[in-house]
Structure 1
Amino acid sequence: MTSSIAAAVLVDATTAADTADADPVGPMRCSAAGAIEAHHGGGSTGVWAPTHAPHTGPADRQRCPTCTTHGRHVAPVHKTAVAAPPPARPVVAVDVDGVLNPDDLTAAERLGYRPHHYAGPDPTGTPVAGTVWLHPEHGRWLAELASAGAELVWCTSWGPLAAIFIASRLGLPTDLAVIDVTAAGVRWGHQLKLFDLYQHTGDRPVAVLDDDFGGKDPDNARSRTRSGVPTLLVPVDPHTGLRRDHVDTVLTWLDDVTGRHDRPTVT
């Protein structure tokens, strides 16, 4: 076949393809991959780059040197972006004895704690009676943490009694989750409650307000944070209980893990 005949056949074939697929499908795009990757400014997906505007018909395509080299054209592909899942809601775990109910009764009275008499079963069902010292500000402070995006949970040997007795006296919801604590106290450098807490929270960020951590717990918390599970341990002095600086520490941490810096003010 002579070069002039070959050129005529090529022109006829290109014109036929243009006529067949131009007008019915609207703007066209080049489907060639790899060799014209740089021309399109992207990979081999055929998605338009700003340097290569869509063609409106066969004449427009014939003026594009890259497209006339590679020939075939198809209708544009529209891809729908998939939204990323929302971040997991962080958890703030709250202990009772030593945190909300301090050990030093003299200091408690001086700091504004108020006595509440309890008479009833303990978590094991054994009848007990005694005085619990609670601070009227603590409910508002903990509510600030919830308003900043945290889920409050009870992590205490009080068990469900915390939700029944403590929450109502602090003005907190009585339906807050209660961690099923199977063992408490420090053994072999670890606060045993944390094993139950971490099992409950999984990969969610977690902050813990407690008065009794083991020597190995901070290292474990740092290791969890480095692995992508932000973990904050806030040691509370059991003689004075929860203080404002403890709450501010958790609020700053919540800002970091949630990306929020517009916390509402709780009154």
Structure 2
Amino acid sequence: MIDDLDDTEAAPDITDLATGRARQLDDECATCVFAAGNPANLRTGRLAHFLTEVADTQSYIVCHETMTGGEMPAMCGGFAARYETDQTQILERTTGYTRVPPPGAGPRPAGFASRADGLRKVRLRTTGRADGPPPVIVIAIDGVLTPRAADSPPPGDLSWAAHIYDGLGPNGEQRKARVWLAREHGMWLTGLLARGAELVWATPPGTADPTWITSRLGLADNAPVLTVDDVAGPGDGSTDSPIAAYTGARPVAWIAAPGHSDEPSWARDRVAAGHPTLLVSVDPMTGLTGEHVDLVHTWLNTVWRPYHP
């Protein structure tokens, strides 16, 4: 299983002994970690871990299939098509690359185009200390951490457990209901906190204290709670919304179920003002998934700038 590979060891040398150039695959291999459908069988969050390690070391990913069976090591074709780091830029400007087919792919026809050709590359940045305030990840809890399921757990392979809420509802009246929570959500959000990001909860007016949920996920109960209109959304239909007042110009990722009317205009206005912004839309029937969290980790790599003492 590819996920069992030890990524703590130094990456092997990818120099082509015949040309002196760095070997780089011209396409994704059959089990590329970036390929659709997860043919590498990576655990949820594992790809984000790989990218975080690469961003911190400013290195690259070596194709796992070129490290077995007598193959010569080569840079992962899926990585090379999507990302740039200090080391990849240095290799390109010094030795250059010898592009080779993945193991078992055979000779290439004239005009060959890889599955990843045309992708816009993302510059991975160091994920340690930063030169500005940390990014803010705002989570609208309903439908994200609490899928709208009733008698049976939501679809998917998470470790769902039913909890009985017995307290005040949004209208101030006593309410008793089954709530499905997944322990993976607490683990994933803890991983985002470890990156230096700040978590903020967004709840509609009159909603019960979210710590009933977050404490059951193993999360600290000191995260800020912002009251956000459940129709308008993050912009709250104004220029002085609670989210705007709290986050200012800091990078913001907004994770919510769809349906907030001002999400697009809020995001456009922030981006136009030079404030990095990410919208993550979550299916309220399934809740937060590993793919959503991977997206946030990758975004953090692009906005959490390196610190220069």
User: TM-score by structure 1 length?
Assistant: 0.58
Q: 1:213 to 1:171 in 2, by over 3 A?
A: same
Q: 1:185, 1:100 → 2: CA distance? A: 18
Question: Over residues 198-239 of structure 1, what are the superposed CA-to-partner deviations in whole Å (9 max), with x where a residue is unaligned?
Answer: 222111111111002445522431331231211111000011
Q: 1:130 to 1:234 in 2, by over 3 A?
A: same
Letter in 2 for 1:91: V
What SS is found at the alignment partner of 1:87? coil
Letter in 1 for 2:275: V
Residue of 226, 246, 256 corresponding to 1:179: 226
Residue of 183, 193, 212 corresponding to 1:136: 183
Q: 2:207, 2:222 → 1: CA distance? A: 13
Give the count of matched residue pairs. Answer: 174
For 2:133, the equivalent position in structure 1 comes to: 88
Q: Confirm or deny: 8 A CA contact 1:107 1:239 kept in the other structure.
A: no
Question: Over residues 7-60 of structure 1, what are the superposed CA-to-partner deviations in whole Å (9 max), with x where a residue is unaligned?
Answer: xxxxxxxxxxxxxxxxxxxxxxxxxxxxxxxxxxxxxxxxxxxxxxxxxxxxxx
Q: 1:167 to 1:90 in 2, by over 3 A?
A: same
For 2:196, the equivalent position in structure 1 comes to: 149
Superposed counterparts of 1:1-267, under 5 Å: 86-105=131-150, 106=152, 108=154, 111=157, 112-123=159-170, 125-157=172-204, 159=207, 161-163=209-211, 165-181=212-228, 183-186=229-232, 195-214=241-260, 216-259=262-305
What SS is found at the alignment partner of 1:166? helix
Deviation for aligned residue 1:254? 1.1
Q: 2:237, 2:181 → 1: CA distance? A: 25
Q: Confirm or deny: 8 A CA contact 1:138 1:242 kept in the other structure.
A: yes
Q: 1:99 to 1:260 in 2, by over 3 A?
A: farther
Q: 2:261, 2:208 → 1: CA distance? A: 28
User: TM-score by structure 2 length?
Assistant: 0.50
Identity of aligned pairs, percent?
38
Letter in 1 for 2:200: V
Question: Over residues 124-158 of structure 1, what are the superposed CA-to-partner deviations in whole Å (9 max), with x where a residue is unaligned?
Answer: 53211111110110000011111112100110237
Q: Confirm or deny: 8 A CA contact 1:185 1:192 kept in the other structure.
A: no
For 1:67, the equivalent position in structure 2 comes to: none
Deviation for aligned residue 1:190? 6.9
Q: 1:91 to 1:154 in 2, by over 3 A?
A: same
**Residue ranges of structure 2 left out of the alignment (5+ in a row):** 1-129
Q: 1:119, 1:204 → 2: CA distance? A: 37
What SS is found at the alignment partner of 2:292? helix
What SS is found at the alignment partner of 2:200? strand
What SS is found at the alignment partner of 2:227? coil
Select between 94-103 and 240-249 the one with higher mean Cα deviation: 94-103
Select between 221-230 and 144-153 the one with higher mean Cα deviation: 221-230
Q: Confirm or deny: 8 A CA contact 1:208 1:232 kept in the other structure.
A: yes
1 or 2, which has the higher helix percentage?
Answer: 1
Q: 1:192 to 1:132 in 2, by over 3 A?
A: farther
Q: 2:276, 2:210 → 1: CA distance? A: 26
What SS is found at the alignment partner of 1:161? coil
Deviation for aligned residue 1:108? 1.2
